[in-house]
Amino acid sequence: MFHFFCFLDILPGMSKLLLAGTVAYDSLKTPRGERPHILGGSALHAAVAASLLARPNLLSVVGGDFERRHLDFLQKYGDTKGIKIIQDGQTFAWNGFYEQDMREAHTVQTDLNVLLQFDPELPPEYLDSDFVFLGNIDPVLQAKILAQLPGRKFAAIDTMNYWIAGQKENLGRVIASADLLFINDAELRQLTGEDNLLRAARSLLGNLKYVVLKKGEHGALLISAAQVSAVPAMPLAEIVDPTGAGDSFAGGFMGYVVHSATSSGVDVDWDTLRAALVYGTMVASFNVQGFGCERLAETSKTDLDERLKVFREITRIN
């Protein structure tokens, strides 16, 4: 049985959560409409998701074109001292579309822009971060961030096929220095060369303690050397935009882990991570119901409580 607290306010003395990743301008089109030049990026989606239970510290880079109103928006969901602004550069931009089933994003154009100049140096206030989520960025940069946090309690990372194909060795090293890896089916098979997903996940375990296998509309798996937990996705009547769903899942997951560790005083354990798997799934289900993070930004703890009640009922086994 999962042991959930009600989704309470952020606690005094909350453990510090560092979120590192991209902040971007996305232009996207789905069967439900299109949005040019809206906020996107792994750090953005993860921060909005995590902020329901923890106020994260953000580490990223943007260009001089990044609008003040968008920086103000970010400040609602986390500390932005770690957002570096390169005044003579342009913010990372992605242009893509989804077909009718919306299972896969099709990229029209990617402009890395200031990401090519990103040299992640943590502000002094971030150096005592207890919990870390490193979104989908160059594994060399992920390793540099972790090296600045020797006192961390728990570190989770995400990656993608691009880094697996081009920087497999560097990625392997940073995975081995983390506690948990977020990854999807295709990426896991690509990384390990193993068709069976359970064997593939466990082949990565060592210093890495856990793998969270993201399966999209089929839910998610939490895998350790000895245990497995599975959570289905929340059934939804309509999906508007799946962009950032994985990042909001990870952000919600980490927000729950931080809140639980702070409120209980107990180190991260299996039961906490199983509950975080459900919580992250609930958060991501709101993300896909609007373009970018528009719907998630409007989501309250009451909304999450209500959706969790429905989820418990539809997944209950007598």
CATH number of the domain at 145, please.
3.40.1190.20
- Rounded to an integer, what distance in angstroms lies between the CA atom of residue 287 and that of residue 279? 13
In Å, what is the CA distance from 163 to each residue of 42, 75, 190, 287?
Answer: 15, 30, 11, 25
- The two tokens of residue 160 are 């993608």
* Cβ burial, residue 311 (10 Å; 0-12/13-18/19+): buried
Q: CA 231 from chain center: how many Å?
A: 17
Q: Give the sheet arrangement for strand 93-98, strand by strand.
A: 33-40, 24-30, 93-98, 105-111
In Å, what is the CA distance from 235 to each residue of 51, 70, 141, 311?
Answer: 24, 32, 36, 9
Q: At residue 7, does pLDDT exceed 70? A: no
Least confident among 66-70, 172-176, 258-262: 258-262
**What is the CB neighbour count within 10 angstroms for residue 248?**
28
Mean pLDDT of 136-159: 96
- Rounded to an integer, what distance in angstroms lies between the CA atom of residue 214 and that of residue 185? 7
* Cβ burial, residue 298 (10 Å; 0-12/13-18/19+): exposed
Q: Is residue 2 a part of any domain in this protein?
A: no
**166: part of which helix (H) or strand (E)?**
helix 161-166
- pLDDT tens, 199-247? 999 999 999 999 999 998 899 999 999 999 999 999 999 999 999 999 9
Q: 136 is in which domain, residue-wise?
A: 17-99+106-315
**How does residue 8 score in pLDDT terms, banded at 50, 70 and 90?**
very low
Q: At residue 12, does pLDDT exceed 80? A: no
Q: Is residue 7 a part of any domain in this protein?
A: no
Taking the model in full, what pTM does it have? 0.94
The tally of domains found in the chain comes to 1
Q: Is residue 10 a part of any domain in this protein?
A: no
- pLDDT tens, 292-306? 999 999 999 899 999
Q: Is residue 3 a part of any domain in this protein?
A: no
Q: Is residue 6 a part of any domain in this protein?
A: no
Q: At residue 264, does pLDDT exceed 90? A: no
- The two tokens of residue 54 are 């923890």
> Residue 6 has what pLDDT?
46
Q: Yes or no: say if 32 and 241 are a contact pair by the CB < 8 Å rule.
A: yes
- Rounded to an integer, what distance in angstroms lies between the CA atom of residue 215 and that of residue 48? 21
Q: At residue 181, does pLDDT exceed 50? A: yes
> Residue 10 has what pLDDT?
53
Q: At residue 191, does pLDDT exceed 80? A: yes
> Residue 64 has what pLDDT?
98
